[in-house]
Amino acid sequence: MRLSTLFSLANLPIPDFDREIDSITAQAQSAGEHSLFFCLRGAKTDGHLFAREASLRGAVVVCETPCGVPDEIIVNDTHEAYALLCAALYENPQQSIRLFAVTGTNGKTSVATTVYEILRKSGISAGLFATTGARWGTKEAALSLTTPQPFDFYRILSEMKEDGVTHVVMEASSHALDQKRLFGLQFSVAVFTNLTQDHFDYHENMVQYFCAKKKLFSMAEQAVICVDDPYGKELSESLTIPVKTVSRTGSPADYRIVSCQNDSRGVTFHVIDNAQTEHELHFGIIGDFSAENALCAVLVCTAAGISFEQAAALLQTIDTIPGRCEQIKNRLGITVLCDYAHTPDGIRNVIAAARTVTQKQLILVFGCGGDRDKTKRPLMGEAACDADFVVITSDNPRHEPPGHIMREIIQGMRPDVCYLALRDRAAAIRYALCRATPGDTVVIAGKGHEKAQDIAGKRFCFDERKLIRHLLRVMEENQHC
Ligand SMILES: CC(=O)N[C@H]1[C@@H](OP(=O)(O)OP(=O)(O)OC[C@H]2O[C@@H](n3ccc(=O)[nH]c3=O)[C@H](O)[C@@H]2O)O[C@H](CO)[C@@H](O)[C@@H]1O[C@H](C)C(=O)N[C@@H](C)C(=O)N[C@H](CCC(=O)O)C(=O)O
Ligand SMILES: Nc1ncnc2c1ncn2[C@@H]1O[C@H](COP(=O)(O)OP(=O)(O)OP(=O)(O)O)[C@@H](O)[C@H]1O
Ligand SMILES: N[C@H](CCC[C@H](N)C(=O)O)C(=O)O
Ligand SMILES: [Mg+2]
């Protein structure tokens, strides 16, 4: 595409020179003869420092301050221009697709996947961008980020459009909102699930974390907001767009969950709407929080033109979200849940959910990621004390020593709680499963759908669900350990 066409499609002033452009990048080392290189100011360094390198590779450079290279274009905000020009390169696929987004600390993948499944099952040609990957029709694409960088996002979105997708639901991470990866998009509905501690390695405090999340709602026509935490309540009161509020702990709301019953088939719950009509819903994922996620998903679908009743009926047919309170069936009489809880609130919630289906002991296996929020480690240790026995292990230690991370978790644990620390995650899972007796539940948290363990910057194959299934099969064959 010509540079002039690209800028014109992005509604940006047309540069005074023209060139053929076929790719866009923010990584100087990937720039080439026909690429546009964006100088982004990041957390670690400033992309402007790499303008010369990109230019020597033949790229046109887009910057905020002059870099003194030939063929440079100066814009006010390179993050914004980056998103707009990536959209333009793919001929603005978002203009013919209805978009829905979910933000919040926990529950984004769960809500987004549920919306996707309901839309799909109702006959709508839908697409999904989530931590678990992108999906549409019979296709899938792996994503390295929950909310992809603009170039990857528009590349996949345009493929979805070519394949006839009309509705797309996605997760909006706080990192993405802060870095304006979604700049220029307009969402039919934005959802807020909750806000509790996470990512303090990136956001300085809860106020800044909340500010990043709030940005999504300036890009939305309608909102669905859980008002049980003070941030949701404040957000709902600050917006001028139509808002549907949701609660499950008695806070006043348009849709109130008034009872939840969990059993091995999931959660059955009652909702009273703002016309005081009561509805009974069922969702195949256990946990009171799952009822809240499910209700948010149903409300998003009503904005897509599906009736509440139809959305609720389709909800009943969903029994799995990969790695989210996913039950791994076995003939040993133990309940095994593979889950993605990786925050103090997530750990507390998944234990509470698992309790509702546990007759005897509840065993938890978990760890904390390296090179990420260190302050959540003792808090996750403290939350883990709600289990009867805890196996502390590794969860993507990245560049940190696993033993050091495990010690930080243990610092938050009550001295009366029984635990074992086993650095090798496969050994930790094996130990927990072997320890369990009929009537017990084993919750394995933090990695869910993930297929690798990141140790010292190297990614080792580690498909947790496959490993659990294998161990359970061996145990079934032996009926003892
Ligand atoms: C914390 C974070 O989000 N970092 C992202 C950010 O990096 P950064 O701001 O540190 O960038 P930087 O290293 O300072 O570099 C600034 C610029 O110089 C460029 N550069 C830098 C060095 C070089 O040699 N050459 C070069 O061109 C970089 O490409 C970049 O454009 O910008 C980079 C490029 O645009 C991203 O790759 C990087 O994501 C990293 C890989 C990442 O892991 N992000 C995670 C934490 C993330 O975004 N997670 C959320 C989900 C979180 C959740 O679960 O809620 C997500 O949406 O996935
Ligand atoms: N509404 C909720 N409130 C609290 N905890 C939840 C909620 N929904 C899910 N969880 C817990 O958090 C875990 C992660 O859920 P999910 O993957 O949906 O969150 P996410 O926001 O997408 O996370 P990420 O930031 O990694 O993308 C689940 O496995 C479950 O244990
Ligand atoms: N998407 C989240 C969850 C990571 C969960 C855990 N497996 C880890 O690696 O810390 C993040 O990037 O912070
Ligand atoms: Mg997610």
User: By alpha-carbon position, which residue is closest to atom 3 of ligand 3?
Assistant: 342
User: By alpha-carbon position, which residue is closest to atom 55 of ligand 1?
Assistant: 173
Percent of the chain with pLDDT over 70: 100
The CATH class given to the 326-477 domain equals alpha beta
Q: What's the gap in Å between 99 CA and the centre of ligand 2?
A: 21
Domain 3-89 coded CATH 3.40.190.10: no
What are the distances in angstroms from CA 473 to CA 331, 467, 477, 479, 480?
A: 9, 10, 6, 9, 11
Q: Is 104 annotated as a binding residue?
A: yes
Long-range contacts of 89-93 (CB under 8 A, 24+ apart): 89/1, 89/6, 89/21, 89/23, 89/24, 89/151, 89/154, 90/154, 90/155, 90/157, 90/158, 91/9, 91/158, 92/9, 93/154, 93/157, 93/158, 93/160, 93/161
ipTM value for the complex: 0.95
Q: Is the pLDDT of residue 198 over 90?
A: no
* For the CA of 203, the nearest ligand: 1
The predicted pLDDT at position 56 comes to 97
Does ligand 3 lie within 6 Å of residue 367's CB atom? no
Residue type, 210: F
Does ligand 1 lie within 6 Å of residue 51's CB atom? no
Rg (CA), the chain: 24
Label the pairing between strands 60-63 and 441-444: unpaired
pTM of structure: 0.96
The predicted pLDDT at position 479 comes to 79
Does ligand 1 lie within 6 Å of residue 147's CB atom? yes
Q: What's the gap in Å between 219 CA and the centre of ligand 1?
A: 23
* For the CA of 367, the nearest ligand: 3
pLDDT category of residue 480 using cuts at 50, 70 and 90? low
CATH superfamily ID and name for 93-315: Mur-like, catalytic domain (3.40.1190.10)
Average pLDDT, the chain: 96
The predicted pLDDT at position 317 comes to 97
Q: Where are the domains of the chain?
A: 3-89, 93-315, 326-477
Testing ligand 3's pocket by substitution, the residue of 339, 342, 345 carrying the most ligand atoms inside 8 A of its CB is 342
Does ligand 3 lie within 6 Å of residue 146's CB atom? yes
pLDDT in tens, 6-65: 999 999 999 999 999 999 999 999 999 999 999 999 989 999 999 999 999 999 999 999
Q: Is 355 annotated as a binding residue?
A: no
Q: Is 135 annotated as a binding residue?
A: no
The predicted pLDDT at position 26 comes to 97
Q: What is the rounded (10 degree) CA torsion for 105, 118, 285, 221?
A: 20
pLDDT in tens, 206-251: 999 999 999 999 999 999 999 999 999 999 999 999 999 999 999 9
Q: What's the gap in Å between 131 CA and the centre of ligand 3?
A: 10
The predicted pLDDT at position 213 comes to 95
